């Protein structure tokens, strides 16, 4: 026999909203509040007698489980609370206030009575006691025939600050990252139901924090998002409730915006770009130019972006790109100096980024002079450096191309006589092309004046400044070389024509004294030929052919004839090796012949033609007649 009542300790500890103890100390006077100190409400927990299924009326206290049977006519739920001031009692079912009627009654002692209970009355009933100091709440489960029952909530809980959040199963939870989330699955049923947890329909292992109907998800991250389900089952059936967990990340700034990089190539050369920042970036632009302003923020879910100008929502017709993260201003002249800002918002919070717009003209600036082009003489000049500035900062000169350039005049500098120095002419041609020669040049001491003229000086004047350059030097010291050829070989190579063959010789590179060197050293010289044609009687040959033999057949498809083909010497008419005649194609020594249809009833045998009588002699030459086999 099943025990139809039990004390569910999890109900009491998880549903209490007051810090009062479960059982009051003996010193508390329950009869009168006179003279007692102020006290938060506390609901008394009492253990009722075991429920009898045959009883028509069930009377029980909070913290129990009531099983509705076929003969149950009335259920009376007692709720007693103490506190000073006296607490006010109210009842709720499954988180919603109980609506009283002629079947569901609130008794004078604040007990809740259900007459003729039906399946719709199944659920969790909570007694709430409250006064000015606080409140207390305890639940009792009413189930049908012992079938499992889960206390579910349909609330949406959004947590953006607290490090921990606890909800009943059935709630939708939206919380910041790193918070600890506790999902309570309060279960009633007789016999006691087994609780199983799932995430996205996949059973959670024991490695997760599961304890007494609680699922604890510690330090949540985006990977913890999903649908968490609690299934309660006993021999009477099973029931499942689910909670959806969303992990929130408040908007936060990013150091870059990839979308801005993708848009820039098509924005045009005069487009300035920058990112907003929390402290406020400054963007200086020229009148008539365009600008791209990026709001580099991230968050989960993706924040919504709203743009403002000088604190007011931006209503002008400007393009928003990349889902609102980029503001494109086609002409900054539509604005005066002011502040743009983007407000990024999602359920986890908001973030404001700013940028200050300053409209100024690009202008040319004549800066310091370049270094002098000469240290002395008459040609030294300095050129003023020209820079393009915007708000005092140098920018690319292309931004100033539409501005008139100031006139730049070169400035003479270092116009003075130069110290004496050696002057040299170009080297003369080498006296020899190889084997060592000499080159010469003229070396003089001169001084260049501030007027541009050269004044000859004595050698001693230049010798005090630098060492005199040499006026002669060796040249073309490489050895003299030449191509040397050996005698021609015999004219006995392969025949290439009538009485015509090829002969060869060796080619060497060597010095004038006969020393062999690498062929590369003779590369600049024309190389002699190492092969040539020559006349020889050995190649006086030709192909000689005989007459064709008689065709092996007078008709049909198999007749052929042959002839003799020899390579013979022209003078002696004697055969020689065929390769001597290979310079000309060899004539064919056989061919097909008499390829014509045979007449009806004829067959061919050797050189005679007879009537086809079905003979089978000499099968090697018997051919098919037009009427069939011979």
Q: What is the mean pLDDT, run by run of 10 residues, along the chain of 630 residues? A: 30 31 41 67 75 70 78 88 92 89 92 89 90 90 83 90 92 93 89 90 79 87 94 91 94 84 69 83 80 89 91 77 85 80 91 87 83 91 87 81 83 91 94 92 93 91 92 92 92 86 92 89 91 90 93 91 93 90 91 88 46 41 41
Residue 188: what pLDDT? 85
Residue 332: what pLDDT? 80
CA atoms within a 13 Å half-sphere pointing along the CA-CB vector of 566? 10
Residue 316: what pLDDT? 61
- Cβ atoms of 257 and 275 closer than 8 Å: yes
Residue 403: what pLDDT? 79
pTM across the whole model: 0.47
Fold topology of 156-250:
Immunoglobulin-like (2.60.40)
Sign of CA dihedral 508, 510, 512, 515: negative
Residue 153: what pLDDT? 87
**What is the residue extent of each domain of the chain?**
9-145, 156-250, 254-359, 491-519+527-539
Residue 49: what pLDDT? 56
- DSSP 8-state assignment for residue 516: B
* Matching residue, tokens 């003996």: 26
- Are 9-145 and 156-250 the same fold in CATH? yes
Tokens matching residue 361: 């003209």
CA 254 to each of CA 295, 298, 326: distance values in angstroms, whole numbers, following the listed order: 9, 7, 14
Fold topology of 9-145:
Immunoglobulin-like (2.60.40)
CATH number of this structure's domain 254-359, picked from the four choices 3.90.1560.10, 3.30.930.10, 2.160.20.10, 2.60.40.10: 2.60.40.10
Give strand ranges (E) for 319-383: 319-321, 326-329, 338-346, 349-359, 363-369, 381-382
Residue 47: what pLDDT? 67
Residue 221: what pLDDT? 92
Residue 200: what pLDDT? 95
Q: Please calculate the CA angle 40-45-48 and round it to the nearest 5 degrees.
A: 160
Helix, strand, coil: what percent of the chain each, to 5? 5, 45, 50
């Amino acid at each position: 026999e099943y025990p139809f009542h039990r004390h569910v300790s999890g109900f009491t500890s998880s549903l209490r909203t007051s810090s009062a103890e479960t059982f009051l100390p003996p010193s508390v006077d329950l009869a009168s509040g006179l003279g007692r100190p102020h006290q938060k409400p506390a609901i008394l927990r009492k253990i009722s007698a075991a429920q009898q299924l045959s009883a028509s009326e069930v009377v029980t206290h909070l913290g129990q489980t009531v099983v509705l049977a076929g003969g149950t006519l009335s259920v009376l739920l007692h709720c007693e609370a103490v506190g000073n001031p006296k607490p006010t009692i109210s009842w709720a079912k499954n988180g919603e206030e109980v609506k009283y009627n002629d079947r569901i009654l609130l008794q004078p002692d604040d007990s809740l009575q259900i007459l003729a209970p039906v399946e719709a009355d199944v659920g969790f009933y909570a007694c709430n006691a409250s006064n000015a100091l606080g409140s207390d709440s305890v639940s009792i489960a009413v189930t049908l025939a012992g079938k499992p029952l889960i206390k579910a909530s349909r609330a949406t809980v959004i947590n953006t600050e607290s490090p921990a959040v606890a909800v009943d199963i059935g709630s939708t939870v939206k919380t910041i990252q790193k918070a600890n989330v506790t999902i309570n699955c309060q279960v009633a049923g007789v016999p006691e139901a087994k609780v199983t947890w799932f995430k996205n329909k996949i059973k959670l292992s024991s490695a997760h924090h599961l304890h007494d109907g609680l699922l604890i998800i510690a330090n949540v991250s985006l990977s913890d998002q999903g649908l968490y389900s609690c299934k309660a089952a006993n021999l009477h059936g099973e029931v499942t409730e689910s909670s959806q967990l969303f992990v929130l990340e408040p908007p936060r700034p990013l150091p870059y915006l990839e979308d801005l990089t993708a848009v820039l190539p098509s924005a045009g050369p005069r487009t300035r770009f920058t990112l907003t920042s929390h402290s406020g970036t400054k963007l200086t632009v020229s009148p008539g130019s365009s600008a791209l302003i990026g709001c580099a923020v991230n968050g989960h879910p993706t924040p919504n972006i709203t743009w403002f100008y000088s604190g007011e929502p931006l209503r002008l017709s400007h393009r928003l790109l990349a889902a609102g993260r980029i503001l494109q201003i086609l002409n900054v002249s539509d604005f005066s100096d002011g502040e743009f800002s983007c407000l990024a918002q999602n359920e986890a919070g908001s973030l404001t980024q700013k940028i200050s717009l300053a409209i100024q003209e690009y202008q040319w600036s004549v800066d310091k002079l370049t270094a002098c082009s000469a240290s002395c003489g008459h040609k030294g000049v300095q050129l003023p450096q020209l820079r393009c500035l915007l708000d005092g900062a140098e920018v690319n000169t292309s931004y100033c191309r539409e501005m008139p350039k100031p006139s730049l005049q070169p400035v003479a500098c270092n116009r003075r006589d130069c110290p004496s120095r050696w002057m040299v002419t170009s080297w003369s041609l080498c006296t020899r092309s190889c084997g060592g020669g000499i080159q010469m040049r003229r070396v003089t001491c001169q001084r260049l004046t501030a007027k541009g003229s050269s004044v000859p000086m004595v050698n001693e004047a230049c010798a005090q400044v630098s060492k005199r350059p040499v006026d002669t030097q060796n040249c073309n010291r490489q050895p003299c070389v030449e191509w040397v050829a050996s005698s021609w070989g015999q004219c006995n190579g392969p025949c290439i024509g009538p009485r015509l063959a090829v002969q060869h010789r060796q080619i060497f590179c060597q010095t004038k004294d006969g020393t062999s060197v690498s062929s590369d050293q003779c590369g600049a010289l024309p190389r002699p030929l190492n092969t040539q044609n020559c006349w020889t009687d050995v190649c006086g040959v030709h192909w000689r052919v005989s007459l064709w033999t008689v065709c092996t057949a007078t008709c049909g498809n198999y007749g052929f004839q042959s002839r003799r083909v020899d390579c013979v010497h022209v003078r002696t008419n004697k055969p020689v090796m065929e390769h001597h005649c290979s310079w000309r194609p060899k004539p064919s020594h056989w061919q097909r012949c008499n390829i014509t249809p045979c007449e009806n009833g004829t067959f061919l045998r050797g050189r005679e033609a007879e009537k086809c009588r079905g003979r089978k002699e000499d099968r090697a030459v018997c051919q098919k007649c037009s009427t069939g086999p011979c």
